Amino acid sequence: MSISTLSEKAAEFKVYKAAAGSGKTYTLAKEFIALAISERYHFRHILAVTFTNKATQEMKDRMLLFMHEIAQGRQEEMCKDIAQNYLGLPEKEVKQRCAEELKNILHAYSQFRVTTIDSFFQEVVRAFAKDLGLHGDARIELDQASVMENVVERLMNKLGRDAELTSWMVAFAEEKLEHNERWDVRDGLQRFASQLLSEEFKVFEEALRQQVKEEDKIKSFRDVLQKIVGNFENRLDSIGKKAMGLIEQHGLSLEAFPYKAASFASFFVKIQEERKDYKAGSRVLAAQDEPSKWMKKKNDPNEAAITAIFEPVNALLKEAVSIVQEDYGRYFICKMVRSQVYYIGLFARILEELQAYREEQNMMLISDTSDFLKKIIYNGAGEDQDFEDSPIPPYIYERVGSKYAHFLIDEFQDTSGFQWKNFRPLITNALAEGHTSLVVGDVKQSIYRWRNGDWRLLLNQIYSDIQNPRPTDCLLDTNWRSYQNIIEFNNALFQEAPVLLADFLRQGKGDLSAEGIAFVEEKADDIEKAYEGVAQRVSPGKLAHEVKGFVESHFINLENSRSSTEFKEKALEKLPSLLEHYFQNGYRPKDISFLVRTKSEGQEVAARLLAYGQDSGQEDLFRVVSSESLYIGEASSVQLLLASMRWLVKQEDPQAIVQLVYAYQQVFQPEIDQHACFVADVEDPLFPQAVKEACHSFLKLPLFELAEQLIDLLGICKAEEGIGNVEIAYVQAFLDAVMEFSQGEYDDLNAFLEWWDKTGARKAIRIPDSLDAMQIMTIHKSKGLEFRIVVVPFCNWDMDHSATKAPTLWASADQAPLNALERVPVRYTKDLAQSPFWEDYLEEWVKIHFDNLNILYVATTRAEEGLLTLSPQSKGEKISNAADLLKMSLQRFGEEAQWEMGEEGDIYRRGTIGSAEIKDKKGKQERILKKLSFFDWRNDRLKISRQSEILNQDFLETEEKVNYGVLVHDILSRIRTMDQVEDALSMARMEGEIDAEQEAQLKKQIDVLMKNTLVASWFAPGPIIKTEVPVLPKEGKAVRLDRVVLSEDSATIVDYKTGLEKSQDIRQVQSYMYMMRDMGYKKVKGYLLYLNDGRTKEVFIKKAKDDGQMSLF
């Protein structure tokens, strides 16, 4: 029976505008709880989606935590809000419902639907694969980069055998060289191929694919372009030759004219050269019809000759200028498109290979799912039509929509156009049925356009797409993250910066057409609109706090104002002294995070700080960690494992031998002469003989077991002889990578090594959050995170695309002959602004500037207490990079007293650095394993299939009452002897199953158990010990024995119990004892061990029962 529900209120479509630090997750959790407790089991009808697995887990944890706290009488403010503003119920009733619904969720956890958008669409595709015409066993590939690498490799293998493809590849390489880009064809082609997976490309993919199929379509298109280009060049070449012929016939040269080689007459030479220059400069224009501009001075000795040629050459000059002024624009764009036509051919070949690869591998890419579903939903409807226009109702979505009544979409500014098209019918249907849905986002934090994120959806489109009911804007305008000075700084900065940028774009429109000017005006208005209401309030707690926070922006003087190399060097020189000032005020390394634009910048910062720490004897203070720079393969221990594996598959390869010898000595004897390693062979004492002796048997092992045996054989992780605990985390991460690969289609060493080189080598180790070290990460990775002090060491990224990294635009035009194809590839350049492709260029021009403004916003709003930026000095003439925008904005709102001018540069300060409060959190200390332990299961009598039932247990808080008996059960199932307890606890802690406080409590509880001599005997070394032993009786219903101690013909069974003593406990152990007796063990003993209080109870059996032959697996 339904209880008082939200359905009594009219359905709403809420649009939460959630700025940085405004409590977005809190708000989402509150909305979810209000919906979930409106009816019993109503959580089953709510779908919440976000963009990353990490964000998904955080959202789940917070939802459950808040429900638990409301049920326990905490979270009073949220409880009151839900009671009064959502449900109209007494607070007591809200608490009761939270307690009840929390239990319901835990009992039906699989129906607690908080997931990523991609995962949801994958589920829809999988669930309805048959309906959608897909093979039932088709897989969805997440690693698109690896797929495109394979596709490109297949193309490369055809070079030399396919003349057309080879010519296109040569043109591709030549174009890269012409623009000073890397000539590596593979790398460039992979980047190009990745564009084909974008939604922007998929919009016109099919139309372009069909045009490419038309015979000679591309060739005839190129011929037309070549004709236009050739005609323009030939006409001017002819004029240039005629003019220079006349000049030379009269005994003249360029030296006869004013400015000599730089004279107007040089124009006739330039239009004939191989690298033609058709720019008609001021001297050329001024020389038309003006003979005085042709003479050097009065009484010029060449006056007679010049006068004689003036009339015919002047006519040629005017004709050339006229041609350039009238036709150069058309010539330029046709020449550019002609030079890029090979892209279309490559496009067609890549799509062919990709489709063949999909079919061979029986898979679809993750990027295909949104497009695939969109085509199903809008079955037969045009791209610009509503889904209601589809002639065939999308019955698949009707089935999905009947399950979910409420949709909660997080990070909506990063939602793609296709994703929104797929969600829109579900939300529209839910609203029509009276169910509330919502989206949460912040246009200012839209920085993932390269992942198809479209901020225009949140800014404008959602309001036109959802009409009944109209969206309700909800502004979250309190910043709960940052202290007062940080908030006030960002308020001022981002009230000025968007206006400055928008004005810069308006002023930079130059000689645009009226349409182009209007286009830029509209887009500039959008930038200002996106930042409307940017000012945030300081939270009451932070407002009352004595700490106010601080901001420092350094603008460094340079000899070469635009030298990025000089700026970075000076910024890196400046960093250590600034950091030491923070340390002197009580801040710890872990309080500081560096945000950079690229991974290479992060590596530069890490290298400089580590070197400074070593040189100054402050290694502990200048320790840095970066999830992006600490690749697994960088560890010497992992390099040794990989070298061993490579030698196993290529034992005669001299390079593999040298690599193994070198890697082995780097781990165990790094001081040895490296030259000795490079001349070693397999008989050399430096070669690891244990590997040579075991090579034949190792090659027969499954991949994961091979990796384990290599680690054990080489002694890599044995504290007494190997690397100790320094690199053990790398080895664990490597084993995880091996396991990940092994669970795929192949379990082969050769295939693994190939996969490692392409994919695995990019994997990085995860560092414990509590490690006292400065973090380094990209600004993109930092989104959603917060740090006590944020340092932006290189706040000077370009606002526009650099010339060497200019993207290829797939542009359209409405002028012949460029409109012969749906889209044509053109290189992004400012010259496109006056071309038929002006709209595509200006769209990208505005978007890239907005992207980089948003990146600045994300970077500066991560800070809690302190913000430090370092930028090159800006002249404030134009906004070419983030430093210019920052300096110009600060000058508009910064008071004179906040500026400090000096020889090294200018410094803007807001607030002062105070003594740091200690913010260490209880239970955050990480323990590191001293060694990894392996055992040879092949020599054991019983094969064990272990599966802990506690691994997925979630904990709401450490203070919550936890069933320690269950946890003890899990730890005991992992160990054979008492000396393994500490390692098992550490492993559980590192895997996130328990925290530090639980680890200590469990250690005490297990120590108490082991004081019982009987219990201790079950964990003593010597006998054969099996844990979690699966046994299959005759009737086929498998049971699992907690612990079995075997010696010759005797067996002792120990069954752990975590609850109160029950009568069936004895009967259960008796049945186990009978099974063991029937397996041939003559002496069988049985015990119950009650883990909560440590009691033991022996169990007896009177006679054997014929239950049939048992089997183990």
Q: What is the DSSP string of 112-139?
A: -EEEEHHHHHHHHHHHTTTTTT--TT-E
Query: Taking a C-beta distance cutoff of 8 angstroms, is the pair 257, 268 a contact?
Result: no
Where helices occur in 362-468 by DSSP H, the ranges are 366-377, 395-401, 417-432, 456, 462-465
Query: Taking a C-beta distance cutoff of 8 angstroms, is the pair 686, 899 a contact?
Result: no
H-run or E-run covering 699: none
Query: Which residue is it, tokens 């619904």?
Result: 101
22 annotated as ligand-binding: yes
Q: What is the DSSP string of 77-107?
A: HHHHHIIIIII---HHHHHHHHHHHHHHHHH
Query: Taking a C-beta distance cutoff of 8 angstroms, is the pair 181, 188 a contact?
Result: yes
Alpha carbon 490 to chain centroid distance?
26
287 phi-psi bin (left φ>0, alpha ψ -120 to 50, beta other): alpha
Tokens standing for 371?
Answer: 């497009």
Please tell me whether residue 140 adopts helix, strand or coil conformation.
Answer: strand
Contacts of 930 (CB under 8 A, 6+ apart): 719, 724, 725, 728, 983
CB-based burial of residue 261 (10 Å sphere; 0-12 exposed, 13-18 middle, 19+ buried)?
A: exposed
CA angle 1067, 1072, 1074 (to 5 degrees): 95
Q: Which CA distances in Å does 469 have to 45, 339, 389?
A: 20, 51, 20
Beta-strand ranges (E) seen in 121-234 are: 139-141
472 annotated as ligand-binding: no
Can the peptide bond before residue 817 be classed as cis, meaning omega within 30 degrees of 0? yes
24 annotated as ligand-binding: yes
Query: Taking a C-beta distance cutoff of 8 angstroms, is the pair 14, 472 a contact?
Result: yes
23 annotated as ligand-binding: yes
Query: Taking a C-beta distance cutoff of 8 angstroms, is the pair 1110, 1034 a contact?
Result: yes
Query: Taking a C-beta distance cutoff of 8 angstroms, is the pair 889, 500 a contact?
Result: yes
Give the residue from 779, 784, 801 showing the smallest Cα distance to 869. Answer: 779
Q: How far apart are CA 150 and CA 303, in angstroms?
A: 70
Please tell me whether residue 1111 adopts helix, strand or coil conformation.
Answer: strand
Q: Which CA distances in Å does 240 have to 228, 278, 317, 856?
A: 19, 11, 9, 51
Contacts of 469 (CB under 8 A, 6+ apart): 10, 11, 12, 13, 431
Cα dihedral value 28, 29, 34, 38, nearest 10: 110
Q: How far apart are CA 891 and CA 874, in angstroms?
A: 11
984 annotated as ligand-binding: no
1026 annotated as ligand-binding: no
Q: Given the DSSP bridges, would you call strands 624-625 and 550-556 parallel, antiparallel or unpaired? A: unpaired
Give the residue from 149, 145, 333 showing the smallest Cα distance to 225. Answer: 333
Contacts of residues 946-952 at CB distance under 8 Å and 24 or more positions apart, as own/partner, are: 946/973, 946/1027, 946/1028, 947/1028, 948/973, 948/974, 948/1028, 950/993, 951/993
Considering just the CA atoms, what is the radius of gyration of the chain in Å? 36
1051 annotated as ligand-binding: no
25 annotated as ligand-binding: yes
Where helices occur in 37-90 by DSSP H, the ranges are 53-71, 76-81
Give the residue from 172, 314, 331 showing the smallest Cα distance to 808. Answer: 172
CA angle 195, 200, 205 (to 5 degrees): 80
CB-based burial of residue 224 (10 Å sphere; 0-12 exposed, 13-18 middle, 19+ buried)?
A: middle
Please report, in range form, the residues annotated as the binding site for ATP: 18-25
Please report, in range form, the residues annotated as the binding site: 18-25
